[in-house]
Amino acid sequence: QRLAVFASGTGSNFVAIADAIDQGRLDAEIVLLVCDNSEAKVIGKARDRQIPVFVFQAKNYPSKVDYERDILQELNHCQAEWLILAGYMRLVGDTLLDPFEGRIVNIHPSLLPAFPGKDAIGQALSAGVKVTGVTVHFVDEGMDTGTIIDQEVIRIQPEDDQDTLQANIQEIEHRLFPKTIQALIQTEKREEIKS
């Protein structure tokens, strides 16, 4: 299966997905990285692996429809089948939602529907909750609102701060995301065989 990964930042989830592919745990190929930030560390990580990169600057386009049209062209060009959002800091619009319905997946560092949006880890710490976690979900037009595919829980320890909790959450993400993508791909294959 041909994955396009969308990311805006560090790219540790991008690396986890690429490693899972290299190690045979994920039966897929990353055919494109889409990035909205030319300074993002994830770009170097894709280039190191000879993965094509499409970088765009939203401010150079009149609207979301315009930049998403360019993204769609790139996705079609490399025949992407799944859009994997791994720290992509933008809402996805109809230009991409319509052609990829049911094939756009995001990872979020909380147990949705708790703490959607930015700084979910800080939000959980401020709220004083004793458990939080990671959610993998389908993407719709809302902010972290699509159907939940899988979740994993982690206890917040009294001594946890932003850094330790983030490290523990990322450890879960790097395991859960490739595993969930693989499960989705396999389910789809089984359904294809049945029909």
178 binds ligand GRF (CB under 6 A): no
- Cβ count near 187 (within 10 Å): 10
Contact 7, 165 (CB under 8 A): no
* Among 4, 5, 7, 136, interactor with ligand GRF by CB under 6 A: 7
Q: C-alpha distances in angstroms, 195 versus 4, 111, 188, 192?
A: 26, 34, 11, 5
Is 64 annotated for ligand binding?
yes
Q: Which residues are tagged catalytic?
A: 108
12 binds ligand GRF (CB under 6 A): yes
* Among 2, 9, 171, 172, interactor with ligand GRF by CB under 6 A: 9
User: Of the candidates 22, 8, 32, 35, which has an alpha carbon nearest to the alpha carbon of residue 118?
Assistant: 8
86 binds ligand GRF (CB under 6 A): yes
| 32 bridge partner residues | 4
Between CA 65 and CA 193 the distance in angstroms is 36
Least gap, CB of 80 to ligand GRF (angstroms): 19
Least gap, CB of 190 to ligand GRF (angstroms): 28
Between CA 61 and CA 106 the distance in angstroms is 24
Q: Which parts of 92-151 interact with ligand GRF (CB under 6 A)?
A: 107-109
Instruction: Give the CB-nearest residue to ligand GRF.
Output: 87
Site residues for ligand GRF per CB under 6 A: 7, 9-14, 86-87, 107-109, 173
Binding residues for (6R)-10-formyltetrahydrofolate: 64, 89-92, 106
